[in-house]
Amino acid sequence: MILSVSRGSIKVSLDGKAVTVPGEMLFPSSGKVGFVISLRDLKHWDYPNQDIQLTGEDIARIIDDISSDFEKGGHSLEMG
């Protein structure tokens, strides 16, 4: 579940843990928001779970969660 979106990150809650997904918000001419996720910077859960590395499965679930919410609003999501 998306908790918040800012120009440089999306905060997500998954399985009782939170993660801040870094990236860049886009404002295309279509009027719908876009976001490019910076996958190389997505490594750990947020405090108090900052010592737990994200697995490939965790990252896939996080991206699926964000993508699903973005699609409902007609927004675009890209990986960078």
pTM of the predicted structure, to 2 decimals: 0.88
Instruction: Domain count for the chain, please give it.
Output: 1
Show the tokens assigned to 77.
Answer: 């999501």
Domain with 48 in it = 2-79
Burial of 39 (C-beta count, 10 Å sphere; 0-12/13-18/19+): middle
For each of the chain's 80 residues, which pLDDT tens digit applies?
999 999 999 999 999 999 999 999 988 777 777 899 999 999 999 999 999 999 999 999 999 999 999 898 888 888 88
The phi, psi pair for 51, rounded to 5°, reads -85, -5
